[in-house]
Structure 1
Amino acid sequence: MVPDPDRWPSSVDGNGFTEVANKVHSMGLKFGIHVMRGISTQAVNANTLILDTKTGEAFEEGRKKWTAQDIGIKERPCSWMPHGFMSVNTTARAGAAFLRSLYTQYADWGVDFVKHDCVFGGDLDIDEISVVSEVLKQLDHPIMYSLSPGTRASPAMAKDVSGLVNMYRITGDDWDSWENLGSHFDVSR
């Protein structure tokens, strides 16, 4: 994954968000990103190879080089962005390798905070949350891990994720509607 160089000119030559993170850090602030569940449909359609961060080569198991099509679960798309992202098969070592490569890349860029969307609430994917949580514990650069529930979140769901993440939101997104915002206050009563 790489940022669009037209929108993020400092990302050219494989720099990713490193320069942006450095600038933010120089101001005494932390740098965070909002990411979606699993793997992009674009990567699956392109059948990209999965990176093995231990070797720097394509992830291989049983003489097979694993690809995005091998780990993407098309039957489990993000509910509010079904053509953009889907779950990853975390029971396959290649699925875990993909998530490790992704979050290692974020750490290498200097990301301090990840808001992970479409894995909590109605899109609960406890397996992906668990794998990401384990990956983050193994990184040299600490990253705060937050979940955004999308839809149908409830305080009762907190027990499933509280030991895996640093924070989670128990309401849906806030939009420009007082009715929407007012109902979120009711959750805390």
Structure 2
Amino acid sequence: MPLARTTPPMGWNSWDCFGTTVTEAEVLANAEFMAKHLLPYGWDTVVVDIDWSDPTARSHGYNDDAPLAMDEHGRLIPDPGRFPSSAGGAGFGPLAERIHALGLRFGIHTMRGIPRRAVAADAPILGTDARASEVADAANACEWNPDMVGLDHDHPAAQAYYDSTLDLYASWGVDFIKADDMLWPYQAADIEAYARAIARTGRPIELSLSPGRDLSLTRLEHLREHATMWRICDDLWDDWHDVEANFARFARWAPHASASGWPDGDMLPLGRIGIRAERGEPRHDRLTPAERVSLMTLWLVARSPLMIGGDLPTSDPATIALFTNADALALLRAEASREVFRENGLVLWTADGTDGERYVAAFNLHDEARDIALDAQNVGLPAQLDGELRELWTGAEIATDHAAVRGVAHGSTAIRLSLAPHGAALLRYVAR
């Protein structure tokens, strides 16, 4: 069984800003920023994303037949050109040690299967008499990345290969693994074998599964049994249409977010991104300020894992402020998060705080601003509010009206909000 945790993972991932090309220096710069500015708010995990073994990695794509750095047993190791501390067989051990010294956790990206180059070299599988060609399943290769082929899990040495790779990662001090090409199509045998290999290391490694295109709730119990978190969408970028598409997904999945596992809306493409990434040129993200607030509000009320995609040291202070709002982040500890209304571009969510407070998130999906009056009872609040109602992003107290208001039940309080185009308000009610 995966590790149980009462709140979803929070951290930084190199993909949105550096794609396949991140360097050791860039990882450390983000780790140092996180330790100094974000760790007190719960951000504690630094993840090196895909292709850390490729010395020829480039922006905007993958390389066919890349000369991946690999040991004699077909296990990928860091490219020492980009990760100098890995030279001499040290792997990610020295980098993990430096990140741990900052009080943070260290994570890496991995791919399902075995490297094509390991199969071509017919590398021996550690701890067995088998070789890579015997355990490879070329018919089940990744559809979007050329580096790997599948494993034949009818062969016992397939499990041994995963056991050996996870044992290596554990020896480096890895705390978190983002395992890719696991969910589309759904690779049940690989998920089970990978989780089994993690358990056999004896190290408490959290497992994140990607990507989440077309993921069905019928997989929930299997996911909970084997992973800490799992993607419910494809890659998310700084485009409102990507964000808006996750409203329906979170409405399905958020009620199932718990210590048993966390549905993941993907990384937060906020701040300075695209520096050497897969998509787009260097930029501050293209979302409006209101859209950034909506994205953060949705991810928080849905209790999604939070992985920042922007380069932290060069992101603007307004973006960093979204990550250090302790009142908003407290939503990750809430319960009963759920969508309660969706009509004509207005979406409402509610959640119960751990100390009796109540949360309401209101979203405007329209392209125009709108003023609304919410019936307090429609968002799970008392008909007559007797306490503090505050918007958590601005800190402002919210106006209410006990007089008759159209659309509000007789005797109920009207909550008045002004929502920007694609904007949101995050309310907390504390009774006296």
Scaled to the shorter chain, the TM-score interval is: 0.7 to 0.9
Q: Is the 8 A contact 1:24 1:30 kept in 2?
A: yes
Q: After the TM superposition, which of the residue ranges 104-113 and 161-170 deviates more from structure 2?
A: 161-170
Out of 73, 78, 85, which is 1:10 matched to? 85
Deviations 1:54-81 (A, max 9, x none): xxxxx12xxxxx1111111100011221
Cα distance in 2, alignment partners of residues 145 and 115 from structure 1 = 6
Equivalence map 1:12-27=2 (5 Å): 12-27=87-102
Cα distance in 1, alignment partners of residues 81 and 197 from structure 2 = 30
Structure 2 letter corresponding to 1:14: G
Match of 1:142 in 2: 204
Shift of 1:149: 2.1
Match of 1:93 in 2: 156
Shift of 1:12: 0.9
Cα distance in 1, alignment partners of residues 149 and 185 from structure 2 = 10
Out of 43, 67, 75, which is 2:139 matched to? 75
Cα distance in 1, alignment partners of residues 144 and 136 from structure 2 = 17
More helix by share: 1
In structure 1, list runs of 5 or more residues that go unmatched.
53-58, 61-65
Cα distance in 1, alignment partners of residues 119 and 238 from structure 2 = 34
Cα distance in 1, alignment partners of residues 244 and 118 from structure 2 = 39
Equivalence map 1:109-188=2 (5 Å): 109-120=172-183, 122-188=184-250
Normalised by the length of structure 1, the TM-score is 0.88
DSSP 3-state at the match of 2:137: strand
The alignment-based identity, stated in percent, is 34
Cα distance in 1, alignment partners of residues 135 and 99 from structure 2 = 34
Shift of 1:29: 0.3
Count of matched residue positions in the alignment of Structure 1 and Structure 2:
176
Q: Is the 8 A contact 1:123 1:150 kept in 2?
A: no
Cα distance in 2, alignment partners of residues 50 and 18 from structure 1 = 22
Deviations 1:12-62 (A, max 9, x none): 11100000000000000000011111111121122111111xxxxxx12xx
Cα distance in 2, alignment partners of residues 18 and 185 from structure 1 = 39
Q: Superposition RMSD on alpha carbons, in Å?
A: 1.4
Match of 1:30 in 2: 105
Cα distance in 2, alignment partners of residues 152 and 40 from structure 1 = 26
Match of 1:47 in 2: 122
Q: Is the 8 A contact 1:117 1:150 kept in 2?
A: no
Normalised by the length of structure 2, the TM-score is 0.39
Q: Is the 8 A contact 1:79 1:123 kept in 2?
A: no
In structure 2, list runs of 5 or more residues that go unmatched.
1-75, 252-432
Structure 2 letter corresponding to 1:165: A
Structure 1 letter corresponding to 2:105: K
Going from structure 1 to structure 2, the CA distance change for 1:80 and 1:9 (only over 3 Å counts) comes to same
